[in-house]
Chains A and B, each alone.
Chain A
Amino acid sequence: MKVINLVYITAFTLFIHFNSNGQNLLDKLNKEFPKESINEIATFKTTRIGLSHSIETRKKGALEISMYNRYWNHKEGTTQSFLADEVNIRFGLDYAFSDSFTVGLGHSINDKITDGFVKYKFLRQKKNSKVKPFSMAFFQEISYINNNPNSGTYSFYNNNNSTSNSIYSFTSQLLIARKFNSKFSMQVSPTFITRNKDFANNQSRSQFAMGFGARYKVGGHVSIVSEYYSVFNPLKSTKTYNPFMVGVNWEVSHLLLQFQMTNARNFAKDVFITQTTNNFNFHDGNFHFGFNATFVLHTNKKKL
């Protein structure tokens, strides 16, 4: 019995020996790689899918300088303006305090809304992992508008018996995104919006919405993106439409460009999600051309 055992062991040892000899050096090396799975990167690449935020956050020390534009024409279509009748431009600054925490500020010139946000990415999708199949981030925005009843910018709100014209809106979002493969990513964003002022018709100040966004990479630097928000309890006083966007994102080194077709003309989340009064089509007054340019400045460079 002992002898037979020994024969087996010997044969086994010889086999291992033979095996290790025949084994390619590269195969051997590939077994040496650490088993831990790595984080998925570039789910959307840009910190905005188009209209609203993606789960992406920039790395620590990155400053994003952005200019977002929307151009559209008046309904009549008889105007003689150069290129477009109206433009809304948002100037923004975003700073990444850490790899997962970003703070941003912006002001848009046409609707005169100032907004600020914080975004915290608390879950990162792992490559080929069943434990962390998606990334998650929390997003909170506050927007401010001085609603002067004389100018009548915002007819949505109940301006009777009010002493203050300041409207503060709060948008909270949970961003959940998954990179399915190197080309395709999707995001859903449950959204809660509330503000400090009542609407007309005694409607609730709070609204719920669900955002959907997707990205499909068509080339090394170009991807097609689309975004849509579905509002569950839209305004009763005014007919509103859900915002939709389809566009192209183009990355040129430090400059990230977005070209889009949309029906949303505002940049503050609470406004474009719940108060877009035109639907998406190609008629004057409804069609909006969007052009977003973001420059990424790295304020702390890694030492190699």
Chain B
Amino acid sequence: MNKLALFFILALFKTGNLLSQQHIARQGQVTFFSYTSVENIEAKNNQVLSILDVEKKEMAVSMLMRAFVFKKDLMREHFNESYIESDLYPKATFEGHFNNLEGSLNQTSLMKGKITIHGITKNIDIKTTIKKTGESYAISGEFNLTVKDFNIKIPPILSSNIAKVVLVKFKFQYLGYESN
């Protein structure tokens, strides 16, 4: 009886302990920029979800493509309907593994991972900046994506309006994660 109770408490404790190693960002920011001589396009998503597992040095990101806001509303419609096809591929996701994550100092770390946009998964290396303040983490960085890699079709007539390589910036502020 006593042993069982101890086991039970231990099990609970262990679960709790493990969960505290995970941190979540619910209002992460992802911005992308397409600069061409004809037109500059910029869009921002303020509702990006991300989870960080310090122990495993892992990170995952998931976002709804529909949540990207553009300066011009018609662009948002075109983006969702004609380019990203958010009816078919509503989310973009990322899963990555940090090279090193000491969890104490401000540091830069290379992250290797897989990014999935428009139903296509690509390997990607991202240089990230990690800041730790108290119990919360902030991770930011930027990388380039080639539009063609993700089978996003740009009609020839508009090829001068949309950059072939798009710059993506991200910023996540993590808090302790409590499941349920």
Footprint of B on A, CB under 8 Å?
2-3, 6-7, 9-10, 13-14, 16-17, 20-21, 24-26, 28-30, 32-33, 38, 41-42, 45, 58-59, 62, 181-182, 220-221, 251-254, 296, 298, 301-304
CA distance A25 to B58 in the complex (A): 8
Residues of A within 8 A of B8 (CB): 6, 9-10, 13
Q: Is the CB–CB distance between A32 and B26 below 8 Å?
A: yes
Which of A3, A302, A303, A304 contacts B73, CB < 8 Å? A302
Q: Does B111 contact A (CB under 8 A)?
A: no
A11 to chain B, nearest CB (A): 9
Residues 11-48 of B contacting A (Cβ, < 8 Å): 11-12, 14-15, 18-19, 24, 26, 31, 42-44
Which of A21, A24, A254 contacts B18, CB < 8 Å? A21
Q: Is the CB–CB distance between A17 and B26 below 8 Å?
A: no
Residues of B within 8 A of A17 (CB): 11, 14-15, 18
Which of B1, B11, B44, B82 contacts A220, CB < 8 Å? B82
We find that the number of chain B residues with CB closer than 8 angstroms to chain A is: 52
Residues of B within 8 A of A252 (CB): 155, 157-158
Residues 93-142 of B contacting A (Cβ, < 8 Å): 93, 95
Q: Is the CB–CB distance between B80 and A41 below 8 Å?
A: yes
Footprint of A on B, CB under 8 Å?
1, 4-5, 7-8, 11-12, 14-15, 18-19, 24, 26, 31, 42-44, 49-51, 53, 58-62, 64, 66, 69-74, 77-78, 80-83, 85, 87-88, 91, 93, 95, 153, 155, 157-158, 161, 179
Residues of B within 8 A of A298 (CB): 71-74
Residues of A within 8 A of B62 (CB): 26, 29-30, 33
A-B contact pairs, 27 of them (CB 8 A): A2-B1, A6-B1, A10-B4, A10-B7, A10-B11, A13-B8, A13-B11, A13-B12, A14-B11, A20-B18, A25-B58, A25-B59, A26-B93, A28-B51, A30-B62, A33-B49, A38-B64, A38-B66, A41-B66, A62-B73, A181-B87, A253-B78, A254-B72, A301-B72, A302-B71, A302-B73, A304-B42
Q: Is the CB–CB distance between A29 and B60 below 8 Å?
A: yes
Q: Is the CB–CB distance between B14 and A182 below 8 Å?
A: no
Known contacts A26-B62, A29-B51, A253-B161: A13-B77 contact under CB 8 Å: no
Q: Is the CB–CB distance between B4 and A6 below 8 Å?
A: yes
Residues of A within 8 A of B31 (CB): 304
CA distance A303 to B42 in the complex (A): 10
